[in-house]
A and B are shown apart, each in its own frame.
Chain A
Amino acid sequence: MSTEAFVKYFGYRPGTSIFHRLDPRTKIIFYGTFLLIAVAWTDPLFLLSVLLVLIALYIIAGESFKRILVLLLVPFPGYILIFLYNLFLFDVTAGKAIPWDLHYIGWVIPKIGSFGPYGHVSIEGLIFATQVSFRLAIFILASRFLILTTAPQEIIIALRKLGLPYVIGFSLSLGLAYIPELARQVGVVIEAQSIRGWKLGSKANPVNVVRSFAPVVIPVILRSIIRAEYLAAAMTSRGYGLSKNPIMLREISFNRLDYAMIAASMTAFVVAIIISPWVLNIANFKFTTFLLVSK
């Protein structure tokens, strides 16, 4: 995938929605609330409602249904993998801490001859595995939402405002600037070597696989080193390092919308902690379990 296509689906998209207009610091706080939920809550119903809220946010931010669908589907194999992994191991991990007999309904891998069975599946296990996948989904959707509505430079500015040193901020932004150029460079080197019969290593032994990368890695690194010197000269000629605190191009400031959003985020943050398993223990996967197996 070219970098342009990658940015189209996974990068920042300029817009005018209320989220685009928020101060990047507000958005980082807002994002933090979702991260907290993804870490703290374990109940699939509670988490599902948060997922729905996130999808609603995407719609408000002007994202098309097609793109939302792509976003939901692309990480799906990952969700399934995490789901199966937890389903398989629930019995010997989280399941052990449950004070009642698990409601078994079958096996992940049934008995075939002398093989198996493996992965005793219970209703509790299903609910637990679902919530882990939901948490991953919240993490992905919330991160994507921050990236979608906040230009990378804005994130850097916000981090600088929050105390990140200028040099680190500049390095981040330099890296950002060079992504398309680096992608092009790697592409050209791969083409130049494949004309000479080079193929990506499929050699049996891992040392040979690593060695087969050398014809691509060496030119890319050497070109970058040569480029770095030219770049440093250009940066010097434009005064890099002469000012301890160069003027920030964009001044960011909180407005009323930001204060409202921060207040809402903080409230949600506190509520999330209160109902989390750490305090009142409501948003716990046992909540859904009771709903399903309370007979």
Chain B
Amino acid sequence: MIILDKVSWTYEGSSIEAIRNLNLEIRKGERVLVTGPSGSGKTTLARIISGLIPHFYKGDLKGEVIIDDIYTKHSRYEEMFGRVGIVFDDPSNQLFNPTVLEEIAFGLANLLSSRDELLERVNTMLKLFKLEDLAHKNPHNLSGGQKQLVALAAVLAMYPKILILDEPTSNLDLLGTSMVYNVLYDLTRERKYTLIIVEHKLEKFLPMVDRVVVLNKGECVFDGSPRKLVREAEDYIKLGLQIPITSLVALRLKLFRSEDAIPLSIDEFIKFIKISKQNIVFKPMRERPRRISEDLKEDRNKILVTASELWYEYPDGTVALRGVDLQIRMGEFIGLIGHNGSGKTTLAKVIAGLYKPTKGHIILNSEIIKTYFKESLIPVGYVFQFPDDQLFARTVYEEIAFGLKNFKIDPDDIRRRVNNIAKELGLEEFLNVSPFRLSQGLKQKVALASILVLRPAILIVDEPTTGQDFITSRKIMDMLKDLNEKYNITIVTISHDISLISEYCKRIIVMEDGKKLLDGPLNVVFSASNMNLLEKMGLESPRTLRFIKRIKEEQNMPFTEDDMIFRVDDLLDRINIEEESQK
């Protein structure tokens, strides 16, 4: 049992309440999803329930927090230890032992007094999570999904009554996400724990829980069942919550028995339309206006990069690329997808010139770059996932100017270029501020500016939206789209969020096992047969397409090019029902 009574929390050194006057009661065995936009206080709530606030994080805690009959404010952490387990978002920041075995044993070594019991529990966990073969490996050498399972096993080994998962899949690729998701799914079925899952992937997690708590700016703005949440979807879409498509369609077409039975999953949805004998139809596509002017389009047929038979082998012998052919044209907007280890990042780094291919060659059309990108200092720019991997200068100005200085540009020119790019990205007012004092979103902009100032013809962006909420993700993608359309910069986005990038990209490249599996415009890459192929490999297709394809399959209709709808709003506009008898 968890009780939060008028709880407010302010971190030391901050003047803003991260949690504001929160009342919450969670019963034993309940499964609660906590969601909300970035900065809404989700992680802080997880820390409060885990007891890390106030025992680890310092600040001002108002109100009363009672966890499993313990008043956290008036007790020592020892009393809570073992009752609550918490798994964090970034798996590499919570593993600190040289082997998986020791990682799982760590908490137990502090909790138990019998070595035999410790070994028995460790072995149970290794078996349960199928980690036996990895027991003696360094957890930091495992894949993201495996790391997160190790973290989960290490926490569950202590047999906590309350289990908190703070965005357990936000830093994982699709394979890792489904690995963790499947384990969590089984856990929720068992109802052995009171479960608190902090997540923003609602589509996956809503069907798993009894209750949803939505936070915004530290306050609870919703507390109720998942079906109640989707019923009131309108209010929460504005907050950036990604309500399941199924529910949105059901709401739009009034396809539910009662307001308390709005379908959360596609299976429920299909069951309902079958019983009610209704057919889903998709209205024909309206022609959408072309945004790119025709003269620009002609330029866009010019080939910028030609790569043939690219091979890349890492010094440790891992072969990451196995003969990749590739052409990139000016002004393209490409999505590069694939599992971790599929070779997509290696390919991007070879294109960026960071790695020299072991075999094969890559040619950049310097003629075009000279003609169209007059101030270009590097043909290909690469924006890394975490801005903290590059920020080092005293001011934002110096950070952006760093590259220009390295290329020995003269000071007047540097000033002009930095100011221009700052204006473009809305960073003018921060030029004299330390980059370290900025928000995550602004840091990302500074990192982007520091590359853009070198005027690359091609910009590679590595997982720009991983770990971000949907509003932020969309803003980032909009910014890239702007750059693409206004300045004709070719964009290559590496991403795991296929639904999002397929709204923006015109072309998708799917990497698998060091080879190009698919490469082409959206309608080719996401044909019915390719979608089956992607699914078999554990890669998703855009959520709109998955929905349409499933419906069409159920209704024995072919999935065609006309069904290539990538935006949820477009889908809702074009979907309709037809009584079966009318057919």
Contacts and interface: CB of A to CB of B under 8 A. Distances in A.
Interface in B437-483: 450-451, 454
Nearest to A178: B140
Nearest to A227: B93
A2 interface: yes
A230 B111 CA distance: 21
A113 interface: no
A283 to B, nearest CB: 39
Of the candidates A8, A192, A237, the one having the most CB atoms from chain B within 10 angstroms of its own CB is A237
Contact of A174 (B96, B139, B377): B96
A192 B96 contact: no
Contacts of A249: 101-102, 105, 109, 118-119, 122
Given A2-B314, A235-B96, A243-B109, A180 B389 contact: no
A291 interface: no
Contact of A233 (B52, B314, B349): B52
Contacts of A243: 109-111
B174 to A, nearest CB: 21
Secondary structure dominating the interface of A: helix
Given A196-B454, A237-B86, A242 B109 contact: no
Interface residues of B, number: 72
Interface string A175-192: 011111100010011011
Interface in A57-98: none
A232 B102 contact: no
Contact of A231 (B94, B118, B454): B94
B284 interface: no
A237 B50 contact: yes
Contacts, number: 165
Given A173-B98, A226-B388, A236-B52, A246 B406 contact: no
Given A219-B391, A243-B110, A5 B316 contact: yes
A197 B405 CA distance: 9
B327 to A, nearest CB: 22
A180 B139 CA distance: 10
A174 B158 CA distance: 21
Given A153-B102, A197-B403, A233-B56, A239 B110 contact: yes
A215 interface: yes
Nearest to B385: A188
A162 interface: no
A251 B139 CA distance: 22
B349 A191 contact: yes
Interface in A191-223: 191-199, 214-215, 218-219, 222-223
A192 B399 CA distance: 13
Nearest to B117: A247
B78 interface: yes
Nearest to A197: B406
B138 to A, nearest CB: 6
Given A197-B377, A249-B118, A223 B389 contact: yes
Contacts of A215: 390, 392, 402
23 contacts: A1-B316, A4-B316, A173-B102, A177-B95, A177-B96, A178-B96, A178-B140, A181-B92, A188-B384, A192-B390, A195-B354, A196-B403, A196-B451, A197-B377, A230-B90, A234-B94, A234-B95, A238-B106, A239-B82, A239-B110, A239-B111, A242-B81, A249-B118
Given A191-B382, A247-B105, 4 more contacts: A5-B316, A233-B52, A240-B106, A247-B108
